[in-house]
Amino acid sequence: MLKFKDFIEEDELSEISLTQRIAKSMSMRKLKGRLKAGARRFKGRLPDRNRALKRANRTARASAFKILSRGKNKSSMSAAQKSSIEKKLNKPAFQSRLKRVAKRLLPQKRMGK
């Protein structure tokens, strides 16, 4: 069973197939209440360095996704479009760029913003 801490620490760096995407969607729908309760429990605390770094990575990745998708919402895109953008994000050159952006975002994420 996936706990809130495990969910937060789970890495979203790999590209996922259509069946994996559907399965993840269904499992997240089932876990919605538990995730919300866990988020409420951790809300007042300042994150440790690892958690702040993961949040910064997630934010950097989301902003890069937004740029590559030309501002489109993820929900309005097809799975193939999402997959092609994720392939671009997984390239080593893009990874180093994301790492630099995440490092710049780290102080904001460390303060819990």
> What kind and span of H or E run contains 73?
none
Segments making up each domain of the chain, as ranges? 4-110
Q: What is the pLDDT of residue 30?
A: 92
pLDDT digits (tens, 9 = 90+) for 1-27: 556 555 554 545 466 788 888 899 899
Q: What is the pLDDT of residue 5?
A: 57
In order, the DSSP letters of 8-57 are HH----S---HHHHHHHHHHHHHHHHHHHHHHHHHTTSPP-HHHHHHHHH
Give the chain's residues under pLDDT 70: 1-15, 112-113
Q: What is the pLDDT of residue 3?
A: 61
Q: What is the pLDDT of residue 113?
A: 63
Q: What is the pLDDT of residue 52?
A: 82
